[in-house]
Amino acid sequence: MDIASQKSQMRTFLRRTRRNLSPEQQQDAAYRLSQVIRQHVGQQRNVKIALYHANDGEIDLSFFIEQCHKRDFELYMPVIHSFKPTLWFARYSPGSAMYSNRFGIPEPLHGEPIAPWQLNLVLLPLVGFDTAGGRLGMGGGFYDRTFAHQRRWPKKPKLFGVAHECQKVESIPVEAWDIPLAGVFTDKQAYLSRQKP
């Protein structure tokens, strides 16, 4: 079986697995995840973080968003570009007016854009991951394209995948365009990459 078909099968299975979590399991996971991320963001100030609005059983960042709000962190959410398959990031605060994109995922309606290299941390939603740096997204290549040229940027945000622990698999093939992650945060622990991304 070719890599695209393997990934597609894995995607179907893992999306179903996360959608089958109960509301209690989701809430518990969201709380634990916020603690795991907080340990890694530490006591820094003026942090600019891109995160996402949970959809399709994704692990929910609302507890973490609350904590960021209290600490005056600036938050941003991905917005799908109107004619290119890439993302830009718009300022978000709890209570911001939102608009559903073509996949039904809410995006900030009036959020100020930020140049991606000005972000300090990007939390990417994952469908699956392994502990060797393999990752699986929704299959649109949106994050891959958005961060494809980051080596040429004046500075780079740290990229961390975010997922439920039950989205961890034995091995996901890494393809040439896959952007390297600094690690993955789950409701159980942080998996940090060995190689520097």
Binding residues (CB under 6 A) for ligand FFO: these are: 52-55, 58, 78, 80, 87, 103, 105, 125, 137-138, 140, 142-143
Question: CA-based diameter of the chain, in Å?
Answer: 49
Question: Could you say whether residue 6 binds ligand ATP (CB under 6 A)?
Answer: no
Q: Please give the backbone phi and psi of residue 11, each rounded to the nearest 5 degrees, phi first.
A: -60, -45
Q: Which residues, at least 6 apart from 89, have a Cβ–Cβ distance to it below 8 Å?
A: 50, 76, 77, 78, 79, 113, 114, 116, 119
Among 35, 175, 189, 192, binds ligand ATP (CB under 6 A): 175
Q: Which residues, at least 6 apart from 148, have a Cβ–Cβ distance to it below 8 Å?
A: 177, 179
Least gap, CB of 103 to ligand FFO (angstroms): 4
Query: What would the two tokens of residue 192 be?
Result: 């940090």
Complex with ligand FFO: residue 23 or 43, whichever CB lies closer: 23
Rounded distance, CA 18 to CA 74, Å? 28
Least gap, CB of 148 to ligand ATP (angstroms): 4
Least gap, CB of 87 to ligand FFO (angstroms): 6
Q: Choose from ligand FFO, ligand ATP, none: what does 52 bind? Cβ within 5-8 Å by kind.
A: ligand FFO
Binding site for ligand ATP (CB under 6 A): 7, 136-145, 148, 175, 177-178
